[in-house]
Structure 1
Amino acid sequence: MTMTAADLQALQPAMNDTAPRTFLNVGCGSAGPERLPECLRQPGWRQIRLDINPDVEPDILADTTDLSAVESESVDAVFSSHNLEHLDDHAVPTALAEMHRVIRPGGFLLITLPDLQQVAQWVAQGKLTETLYDSPAGPITPLDILYGHRASVARGNHYMAHRTGFDTQRLGQVLRAAGFAEVRVTADAHYNLWGYARK
């Protein structure tokens, strides 16, 4: 699944397409704009990059659980791609509460992360270390999705370790618990969940 501009317009009809809008890219990593969903690459969107890793040269150096460098209700959207699973499980509510805090009323969170339910099917078949797909970082196995990209961790990038996980039901639960008014979660065909949560 990809989140297109049309998809976002259908979900967010109240947003004015001509107004300048800002989104906070939480856990931006080193990926360029080509890795953003199409809906956030549309004219009028301005990106603020936030990451805990200084090596990726973010606009804001911060932990996902402490967005105090970002004013409350100051961004129209938050995008989080493969970030939440890197937190300790008990820190997930704090991170989502911080994301909720910085979004303006009527704004939204768009989040994507691994779908452990799909991965578990491969594990149950005894395919823990078989390649599921090739990524820019190299081959990805169920073991990588469960615990983090092993090759990156082996090279000393401890930020790549995974500490918690989600299926469709759990992602919906934690988004609603964070206070979002409308929550939609779907799985794609590439072992990912996508969540849209409106404030």
Structure 2
Amino acid sequence: MTAADLSVLQPELNPQTHKRFLNVGCGSAGPERLPECFQQDDWQQIRLDINPAVKPDIIADLTDLSAVQTGSIDAVYSSHNIEHLYLHETTVALQEMHRVIRPGGFLLITLPDLQQVAKLIAQGKLSEEIYRSPVGPITPLDMLYGHQASVERGNTYMAHKCGFDKHSLSTALLNAGFHEVRVTADAHYNLWGYAQKG
């Protein structure tokens, strides 16, 4: 979908009641997997992914969101995708997310917490199932390098090329131009970052 194509979504919105969020790297997950804040009726989701097989609204790489107009999105949601980029590409991707968010809008981002993963590896649990996800069992090896069973089946989009801990994610978000940044770890080996555009 091009920027011109994206504009056709706008007339359907009542600016008094609807906000738009861009779900980058949306994958095939349904709306029930979204954070509760984005499941409210006043939010409209625009799905973006590099993989055409998941039928996104916009097919694009995270490092090139040129199909989305500057300052046209109220929020960006990024769930488990920037770790699929090389580290130098994450800088560009986060800057692109910052660019498309309107002033006062925000980014909500989640990804594996490498500090927690490293603790599991140090305990000798590299190949142990830690939890079960919709794609199957997940091990610390999967959290570190990407879901190995998916990669084996040819879905190389699932490979991980970098990673973050709380400090490095906070720094990356600030360097991308966000002003208010909060990063926390949850009990399920994930980081959650909230970053507001000033």
Is TM more than 0.5 here?
yes
Give the corresponding residue for 2:5. Answer: none
Q: Matched residue pairs, number?
A: 182
**Among candidates 51, 55, 58, match of residue 56 of structure 2:** 58
Letter in 1 for 2:127: T
Give the corresponding residue for 2:193. Answer: 195
Q: Secondary structure at the match of 2:163?
A: coil
Give the corresponding residue for 1:42. Answer: 40
Give the corresponding residue for 2:13. Answer: none
1: CA distance, partners of 2:152 / 2:144: 15
2: CA distance, partners of 1:136 / 1:154: 17
Deviation at 1:102, TM superposition (A): 0.1
Q: Secondary structure at the match of 2:149?
A: helix
2: CA distance, partners of 1:51 / 1:104: 21
For the pair 1:174 / 2:195, whether they are aligned, the reply is no
Letter in 2 for 1:134: R
Letter in 2 for 1:99: M
> Where in structure 1 are there 5+ consecutive unaligned residues?
1-17
Identity value in percent: 72
| Alignment of structure 1 residues 7-18 onto 2, 5 Å | none
Deviation at 1:111, TM superposition (A): 0.2
Letter in 1 for 2:83: E
**Among candidates 84, 87, 92, match of residue 86 of structure 1:** 84
2: CA distance, partners of 1:175 / 1:107: 14
Task: Flag as ranges the 4+ runs of structure 1 deviating above 2 A.
Answer: none
2: CA distance, partners of 1:124 / 1:94: 32
* TM-score normalised according to structure 2 size: 0.91
Q: Secondary structure at the match of 2:174?
A: helix
Letter in 1 for 2:64: D
2: CA distance, partners of 1:49 / 1:89: 23
Give the corresponding residue for 1:154. Answer: 152
Deviation at 1:126, TM superposition (A): 1.2
Give the corresponding residue for 1:4. Answer: none
Deviation at 1:20, TM superposition (A): 1.1
When the two chains are superposed, the root-mean-square deviation of aligned CA atoms in Å is 0.6
Give the corresponding residue for 1:76. Answer: 74
1: CA distance, partners of 2:187 / 2:123: 18
Give the corresponding residue for 2:10. Answer: none
2: CA distance, partners of 1:28 / 1:138: 18
2: CA distance, partners of 1:44 / 1:126: 46
* TM-score normalised according to structure 1 size: 0.91
**Among candidates 102, 111, 122, match of residue 124 of structure 1:** 122
Give the corresponding residue for 2:28. Answer: 30
